[in-house]
Amino acid sequence: MPERHGFSDIAPARNAICEWRKGYHGYRPHSTLNYLTPRKFAASWRMGILTVTKMT
């Protein structure tokens, strides 16, 4: 099955999936973060621009 997507082995496929996941979760805005990317949210939180409150 890996060859169906251009991979001759499972290792390159795993690496491609890992890179995709990093980009998807790190650079894509999330509605739960007020439509900020996780990176921007974390940076804003570290600088004290945002505060995190627990939702009940």
Question: Which two tokens mark 4?
Answer: 């169906």
Question: What is the model's pTM?
Answer: 0.53
For 6-53, write each residue's pLDDT tens digit. Answer: 888 889 889 989 988 888 877 889 888 889 998 899 899 899 888 777
| pLDDT band of 1, cuts 50, 70, 90 | very low
- Give 36's strand partners: 30
Q: Where are the domains of the chain?
A: 2-46
Q: Is there a contact between 37 and 27 (Cβ–Cβ < 8 Å)?
A: yes
Sole residue written with tokens 């491609």: 16
Token pair belonging to 52: 């995190």
Question: Cα(30)–Cα(54) distance, rounded to whole angstroms?
Answer: 17
